[in-house]
Amino acid sequence: MVAANWKMNGSRAICREFVEHFDVDGSVDVVFFPPFLYTSMLMEGFVSRSISVGVQDVCHVNSGAYTGEIGAEMAVDSGATYSLVGHSERRSLFGETDGLIAEKFTTCQQAGLTPVLCVGESREERLDGRAESVVAKQIGSILRTAGIKAFANAVIAYEPVWAIGTGVNAKPKQVEDTHLQINEL
């Protein structure tokens, strides 16, 4: 899978450009995660292509007095098929805990969205030798809440937080080791 998280970037004009010029041959799953305002526009444009559109986040519940939140059922209604869950920015900037992320993961699946669980460690955690335990804890929360079978309809995305925007790239061996660890869990 190739996933592109637009974060809080984009415009209707950029969406039109993507729809007009972007295509794939279907040999790889491609998912765009634009800001929610643009999901329907991209879905309509990519309807006949092998490109999926997901949302960047969902609330842990599907409806209620949660100003500014998006329910997983709303995301499905908009045409989304995936949702990011546990992105490092949601963890660090919004204080999302492993427990809350597990709730969101379950809510996604109950609504018919495929959760893309983002896991990864900070620079400090890697340097302290805690990379494996951090990732294991993040995945463990889902295992305790939803069980191993929940991962049959989910994606785990390793996000080495220490490499994002730092100019330092994760070495293939580091990523491979983490993927092996994830598979062993």
Is-catalytic flag, 103? no
Of 73, 96, 103, 159, catalytic = 159
Per-residue confidence at 166, pLDDT binned at 50, 70, 90?
Answer: confident
pLDDT, average across residues 166-185? 87
- pLDDT for res 7: 96
Q: Name the nearest CA neighbour of 31 among 12, 48, 6.
A: 6
Of 87, 89, 96, 103, catalytic = 87
Q: How far apart are CA 92 and CA 118, in angstroms?
A: 13
pLDDT tens by residue, 138-148: 999 999 999 99
What are the extents of the domains in the chain?
A: 1-53, 57-184
pTM score of the predicted model: 0.92
CATH 3.20.20.70 fits domain 57-184? yes
pLDDT tens by residue, 110-145: 999 999 999 999 999 999 999 999 999 999 999 999
Neighbours of 185 (CB within 10 A): 14
Mapped to the 3 state alphabet, what secondary structure does the chain carry?
A: CEEEECCCCCCHHHHHHHHHHCCCCCCCCEEEECCHHHHHHHHHHCCCCCEEEEECCCCCCCCCCCCCCCCHHHHHHCCCCEEEECCHHHHHHHCCCHHHHHHHHHHHHHHCCEEEEEECCCHHHHHCCCHHHHHHHHHHHHHHHHCHHHHHHCEEEECCHHHCCCCCCCCHHHHHHHHHHHHHC
pLDDT tens by residue, 68-94: 999 999 999 999 999 999 999 999 999
Place of tokens 């526009």: 41
Is-catalytic flag, 21? no
Please determine, for residue 165, whether its predicted confidence score (pLDDT) is greater than 90: no
